[in-house]
Amino acid sequence: MAMLKQADDVATKVERTTEVLSNMRGMATKVGQMASYVDGVIPDQHRLIFEKSMEKLQSKAHASTSADIRGVVEEDLGAPIDQLFREWEDEPLASASIGQVHRARLPDGRAVAVKVQHPGIAEALEADLDNGVVVRMAVDMLGMRRLEAARFHGEIRQRFMEELDYRLEAGHQARFRSLHEHDPQIQVPEVFLDHTSERVLTSELVQGKPFAVAIHAREPVRRQYAETLWRFVYGSMVLGGWFNADPHPGNYLFQDDGRIVFLDFGCVEDIPVARRQQVVQMHRAAAVRDWPVARSAAARLLETRGGVYEERAMAYMMEILRPVSESPFHFTPEYVRTVVRMFKDNFKDFGKGQEGDGFVPLPPGMIFLNRLQFGFYSILARLNASVDYASVEARFLDRWDNELAAQLGADSGGSPTA
């Protein structure tokens, strides 16, 4: 009877969560997506209930009328649709929480994808964030206490509000495209700034297979996908000093030859040079299993100060470095669930103010870095391939030495690999 009551309680809680999300035009999809594809966020025994509830929610996803969308485009770009584009399709290619995408052609004939914000979405998103519910739900999913919800509210709010500025996203997209322009396996669509505004983003139209198809490719191709994803995520972090904090599988299109098209650069976080140095040191040390150096770099990254909490935090950091230290490594959902559980347990067991536990809050920016970590690892687990990640990243770590030594020396007065 107790088990039945517990199951009923879970179902009720999920239904209430879905009801709350259904009233949030801007945030429902984002919160639900994170929970649905990251292993370990929703316990396995409750996942079926959650997914059924999310299906109902997704079926109510907002889509704007063609007249509303045309109105946004013409208002923002200052001309009628038939002057701005040679062709325009009113039926959207896709619709998401903030905007929808339409196929079109520029006056010179180039095929483009035009992302247009839903009218009124800025006000709706701001209201969702201001009431604090979405932040508390996201933090609860990661096992963090309400104290962290209050502390991270401003950071989370800023990142999500930035997604409303398509000019900012266009700049991000151009930076990622430039950084990876010499990698034939990474494709970032070109942005057309003369057809881009705060609520309209025009990029070259690209084709590819969705993630649900890519995970059934032959094993050598899946291995190529995993290698490309690793270079994109960690290469962007180390070389560019930024990471795309929204690793949803819907933001990737896959080609038969192993190439990946990367989409959606609305949620991007900058990484200071000193923090990038610590990431490089951690990964290099892990590759040769030099645990004292790896732990020292991790402690500086998390700004720990000893105590039992530091020991637990270091165990977590060494766990997430296993793909490098045990390379070749095969990601599995079980491994990702272990990583997520360790993170959750650290916040459940510490931070209650006991003298001597050494708890310190996550430094600014780390909440989104962990969001990336969990989502990225879950995607690699579904690709189901063994990859020599240490060799993959060695190439861009060498490029770090060659291209950024002078910059790091000027900023920190030290060696980039000390």
Q: Are residues 322 and 379 part of one domain?
A: yes
Does residue 391 form part of some domain? yes
For residues 12-40, average pLDDT: 54
Question: Is residue 253, in this structure, part of any structural domain at all?
Answer: yes
The winner for highest mean pLDDT among 58-67, 139-148, 226-235 is 226-235
Share of the chain above pLDDT 70, in %: 75
241 and 347, same domain (yes or no): no
Cα dihedral 37/41/47/49 (nearest 10): -110
CA distance 350 to 348: 6
Residues 92, 51 share a domain: no
Of the three residues 268, 297, 312, the one that is the final residue of a domain is 268
Return the number of other C-beta atoms located less than 10 Å from residue 79's C-beta. Answer: 10
Query: Do 132 and 36 belong to one domain?
Result: yes
The larger pLDDT score, comparing residue 214 to residue 156, is at 214
Are 332 and 189 found together in one domain?
no
Rounded CA-CA distance 233/388 in Å is: 16
What pLDDT sits at residue 209? 96
**pLDDT value for 138:** 63
Question: Which pLDDT tens digit goes with each residue over 72-123?
Answer: 999 999 999 999 999 999 999 988 878 999 999 999 999 999 999 999 888 8
Q: Render pLDDT for 175-194 as a digit per residue (tens, 0 to 9).
A: 999 999 999 999 999 999 99
Is the per-residue pLDDT at 398 higher than 50? Answer: yes
The total of structural domains in the chain comes to: 3
Residue 418: per-residue pLDDT: 33
Q: Do 292 and 251 share a structural domain?
A: no
For 393-402, what is the mean pLDDT? 88
Is the residue at 100 inside a domain?
yes
* Residue 417 located in a structural domain: no
Q: Give the Å distances, CA to CA, from 286 to 321, 389, 417.
A: 7, 11, 14
| pLDDT score at 62 | 63
Q: Are 263 and 187 in contact (CB under 8 A)?
A: no
Q: Do both 231 and 247 map to the same domain? A: yes
Taking the C-alpha atoms of residue 198 and residue 46, their distance in angstroms, rounded to an integer, is 40
Residues 27 and 149 in one domain: yes
pLDDT (0 to 100) of residue 132 = 65
Print the domain residue range for 152: 10-61+122-161
What mean pLDDT comes out for the span 14-24? Answer: 51
DSSP letter string, 234-246: HHIIIIISEEES-
Q: Return the H-helix or E-strand segment holding 330.
A: strand 329-330
In a domain, 373, yes or no: yes
In a domain, 222, yes or no: yes
Per-residue pLDDT at 416 = 38
pTM over 0.85: no
Among the three residues 268, 303, 325, which one is the final residue of a domain in this structure? 268
List 115's β-bridge partners, or say none: 101, 201
Are residues 257 and 134 part of one domain?
no
Tell whether 30 is covered by a domain.
yes
In 10 A of CB 58, how many CB atoms?
A: 14
- Mean pLDDT over 60-79 rounds to 89
The reply to whether 99 and 187 lie within a common domain is yes
**Whether residues 405 and 302 fall in one domain:** yes
**Residue 152 structure tokens:** 């991270």
Q: Residue 328 carries which DSSP code?
A: S
Same domain, 334 and 239: no
Q: What is the mean pLDDT of residues 59-71?
A: 81
